[in-house]
Chains A and B, each alone.
Chain A
Amino acid sequence: MSLSRNPYPKSYSIQWVAIIIAGLLLLGFTGHRLEMGRLFAASSKETVSLVDLVSRFFPPQLAERRMASKIANFDASNLPMFAHIEHEVKTEERIDPKTLAIVRTQSRQAVLVEPFGYAGRVAVKILETFEIAVWGTILSLFLGLPLALLGARSLISPPLIAGAFRAVTALLRALPELISALLLVAVYGFGPLAGVLALGLHGAGFLGKFFAEEIENADKGSQEALVAIGASRFAVWRLAILPQVLPPYVGYTFYSLDRNVRMATVIGLVGAGGIGQELKGRFDMYEYSRVGTILIAIFVVVILLDIVSARLRRTLV
């Protein structure tokens, strides 16, 4: 009896089994190098210090207290909204240079208390972060659209030129925002402009790539239908390609805006403006209750944005 080989393909080949085993071994090696085991050590000192750090964020600081004597042109009869004045007794200790004895002096000081003073400042910084993200997205649209039109195969450019534009797009995408922000802060100084540029350049790389892919993947039938009646290249683009790619373009742009808001908070850490810069400053000054306020504000904004942007993309695309 001859046993003919069953033609049904094998589920796993020996190569794949070997690759998977080799991959697992490699992971074990790198995991050891990165001390991944420390993650699983229960009640380690890291856990204690994490809990300690987080507990310092609470209660988050909403009010702003400033000594009246240190405010220029302080006018007690014309206070800011919701503000009031508290008096506190302050004890100062200093060493008398002659006797070397510790001398205590007590003084009553007026303190201006704005109950939501710091919350207001955080709100302003969040708004600035939004502005950075919006302008970054606008910049990346203006750069990304032409890059996509010129970089798409089969639209305007001959293959070589299209390849060059795609290379530029890839280069922009390969430059992380945080690093370009670091460099741009050195050029433009601390503040939002460096952030806008950093987000805009990376975003142009992102939008340029996905916009071009949409053009390349657009349905060919309707394009050919226009070629068949002697339409110009511009007509093919405007009448057949644009209506197909516009909804996904809106989707990508909203995703980019969403991402830029999150990135705008991060690049603030290197001085590119917005809430991140505030966070970095307060963290370095050990003002953890202010850090708590900032973190809560960031979480709320990011979650809200996630919901809004998901809903917008669903309705638009």
Chain B
Amino acid sequence: MDVRFDAVSVQYSSGHRALESVSVTVPSGQFCVLLGRSGAGKSTFLRTVNGLVKPTAGVVTVGGVPATGSGLITLRRHIAMVHQVFALVGRATVAHNILSGAAHEMSFWRMLLSIPSSRHRARVCAVSQAVGLDPEMLSHRVDQLSGGQQQRVGIARAILLNPEVILVDEPISNLDPETAHLMLTLLKAHAVGTGATVICGLHQPELARQFADRIIGLDAGRVVADCAADHFGKVNADALYRNHVSHILAAA
């Protein structure tokens, strides 16, 4: 599924303008990284794709379907999300958290009594293996795991049903560099394997160049850079972050 932004603006009720007339098309199967400093609009960009944030102007369409109104719930079932602070249920088991990625497919009683179908059991085992979680970990409580293991659970939940679009919101900002690299490798491998479109917010230009097909630079809600990852040079990265540094220096 492709993701199309057509002159999308978002203004929050606080008055903050998070996106300013963004027009971008991410074609199906692309691994696209959003680069930009905190507050540049990366999260808002991602959250307008699955309708968690409603655009104040413009239209977002995913696979030709507008991400608002009555079709939204159905559309969301094709769009997975990996969250910055994992957004897992700490008191529940790893298996429970991964399984919740199939929430819309489970019947009332299976969900209420927590008895997944054999197909869902098999999928949970398969994806947990794919992200490198030991099978014995499935019965552990999530809040007993390290940050890296928790994000593995988050990724497993996202890819459980082979979504066509995966939104990734700064998945590694709480992880050490090695684990961060591993997480992106896992995501990339899955995306390549299933042909999923990935839009991933990141802070690190080097990682972006390494994993992305394409890099979109955001600054103060505007697209300030948009090119293939190979063409995204040090000059672009400096331009994205320099303003920020000079602001801080000016204030001090």
Residues in A lying within 8 Å of B, measured CB to CB: 219, 221-222, 224-232, 234-235, 238-240, 243-244, 246-247
How many residues in B have their beta carbons less than 8 Å from beta carbons of A?
31
Q: A227 — which chain B residues lie within 8 A by C-beta?
A: 52
Which of B50, B74, B86, B111 is close to A228, meaning CB atoms less than 8 Å apart?
B50
**Closest CB pairs A-B (n = 5):** A230-B76, A231-B103, A221-B87, A243-B92, A225-B87
Q: Give residues 125-142 of B contacting A (CB, 8 Å).
A: none
**Given A227-B52, A235-B106, A239-B96: A222 in contact with B75 (beta carbons within 8 A):** no
Q: Which residue of B lies closest to A223 (CB)?
A: B87
Residues in B lying within 8 Å of A, measured CB to CB: 50, 52, 72-77, 79-81, 83, 85-92, 96, 99-101, 103-104, 106, 108, 111-112, 157
Q: A228 — which chain B residues lie within 8 A by C-beta?
A: 50, 52, 76, 79, 81
Kindly state the separation between the CA atoms of A264 and B125 in the bound complex, as whole angstroms. 50
Which of A222, A229, A238, A244 is close to B111, meaning CB atoms less than 8 Å apart?
A238
Kindly state the separation between the CA atoms of A247 and B90 in the bound complex, as whole angstroms. 12
Q: Which residue of A lies closest to B154 (CB)?
A: A225
> Are B104 and A232 touching (Cβ within 8 A)?
yes
Kindly state the separation between the CA atoms of A247 and B92 in the bound complex, as whole angstroms. 11
Q: A232 — which chain B residues lie within 8 A by C-beta?
A: 103-104
Q: B86 — which chain A residues lie within 8 A by C-beta?
A: 221
Kindly state the separation between the CA atoms of A226 and B76 in the bound complex, as whole angstroms. 10
Kindly state the separation between the CA atoms of A230 and B78 in the bound complex, as whole angstroms. 9
> Are B100 and A240 touching (Cβ within 8 A)?
yes
Q: What's the minimum C-beta distance from A290 to chain B, rounded to whole angstroms?
A: 49
> Are B81 and A229 touching (Cβ within 8 A)?
yes
Q: A247 — which chain B residues lie within 8 A by C-beta?
A: 91
> Are B85 and A235 touching (Cβ within 8 A)?
no
Which of A221, A228, A247 is packed against the most chain B CB atoms within 10 Å? Answer: A228
Q: A221 — which chain B residues lie within 8 A by C-beta?
A: 83, 85-88
Q: What's the minimum C-beta distance from A214 to chain B, rounded to whole angstroms?
A: 12
Q: Which residue of B lies closest to A317 (CB)?
A: B91
Q: A238 — which chain B residues lie within 8 A by C-beta?
A: 111-112
Instruction: Sample 6 A-B pairs with CB under 8 A, ordered by A number.
Output: A221-B85, A224-B52, A225-B81, A229-B50, A229-B79, A247-B91
Kindly state the separation between the CA atoms of A265 and B88 in the bound complex, as whole angstroms. 44
**Given A239-B100, A243-B89, A247-B91: A229 in contact with B106 (beta carbons within 8 A):** no
Q: Which residue of B lies closest to A227 (CB)?
A: B52
> Are A234 and B100 touching (Cβ within 8 A)?
no
Q: A240 — which chain B residues lie within 8 A by C-beta?
A: 89, 100
Which of A219, A230, A244 is close to B74, meaning CB atoms less than 8 Å apart?
A230
> Are A222 and B103 touching (Cβ within 8 A)?
no
> Are A224 and B87 touching (Cβ within 8 A)?
yes
Kindly state the separation between the CA atoms of A244 and B141 in the bound complex, as whole angstroms. 12
Kindly state the separation between the CA atoms of A224 and B76 in the bound complex, as whole angstroms. 12
Q: What's the minimum C-beta distance from A186 to chain B, rounded to whole angstroms?
A: 42
Q: B83 — which chain A residues lie within 8 A by C-beta?
A: 221, 225
Q: What's the minimum C-beta distance from A226 to chain B, rounded to whole angstroms?
A: 6
> Are B91 and A243 touching (Cβ within 8 A)?
yes
Which of B81, B87, B88 is packed against the most chain A CB atoms within 10 Å? Answer: B87
Q: A224 — which chain B residues lie within 8 A by C-beta?
A: 52, 87
Kindly state the separation between the CA atoms of A226 and B86 in the bound complex, as whole angstroms. 12
Q: B103 — which chain A residues lie within 8 A by C-beta?
A: 226, 229-232, 235, 239
Q: What's the minimum C-beta distance from A201 to chain B, rounded to whole angstroms?
A: 28
Q: What's the minimum C-beta distance from B27 to chain A, rounded to whole angstroms?
A: 22
A sample of 16 more A-B contacts (CB under 8 A), given A221-B88, A225-B87, A230-B74, is A221-B87, A222-B88, A225-B81, A225-B88, A228-B52, A229-B50, A229-B76, A229-B80, A230-B72, A230-B75, A230-B77, A232-B103, A238-B111, A239-B100, A239-B103, A239-B111
Q: B106 — which chain A residues lie within 8 A by C-beta?
A: 235
